Amino acid sequence: MNQLHFQGCNNLEINGITSFDSPEKPYLNPRLQTSEITQIKVIAPRDSPNTDGIDISRSTDVEIYDIIVGTGDDCVALNCGSININITRMQCGPGHGISVGKDGEEAIVENVQVTN
């Protein structure tokens, strides 16, 4: 179960959302095009499994900035088909940071930029 799930969206803006102690992945965003995820906070216990802050797949031209993610899993997970992803000004921890691809699977992820 995901707290928020967006699929097949163009020009989506997610702004100013706070999530505390979600039972599983708070944000799952497949098939986004030209979208922004900004000023969100995702907090879960450090020992909580399966609590990626933001999980992106099959998406292009996504801007992620000014976010705080403190969970027990990935801060941002970039899965197959993540292309032109820009992550700026993110506080991340105690989780696993930014992951690319899934364990044991071949994944195409292109043009990812992370700053600050």
Domains, the chain, in order of start with CATH, read 4-115 (2.160.20)
State pTM to two decimals: 0.87
What local confidence, expressed as pLDDT, does residue 95 receive?
Answer: 84
Of 52, 55, 61, 73, the catalytic one is: 73
Say how many C-beta atoms besides its own lie within 10 A of residue 21's C-beta: 11
Is residue 73 among the annotated active site residues?
yes
**Could you read off the pLDDT of 36-76 as tens digits, one per residue?**
999 999 888 888 877 888 889 899 999 999 999 998 888 99
Give Cβ neighbours of residue 104 (< 8 Å, ≥ 6 apart).
none
Facing residues of 41 across strands? 18, 68
Does residue 96 have an active-site annotation? Answer: yes
Q: Count each helix (H run) and each strand (E run) in the chain, helices first.
A: 0, 13
Q: How far apart are the first and last CA of the chain?
A: 31
> Which class for 10: exposed (0-12), middle (13-18), buried (19 or more C-beta within 10 A)?
exposed
Top-confidence residue, 8 or 92: 92
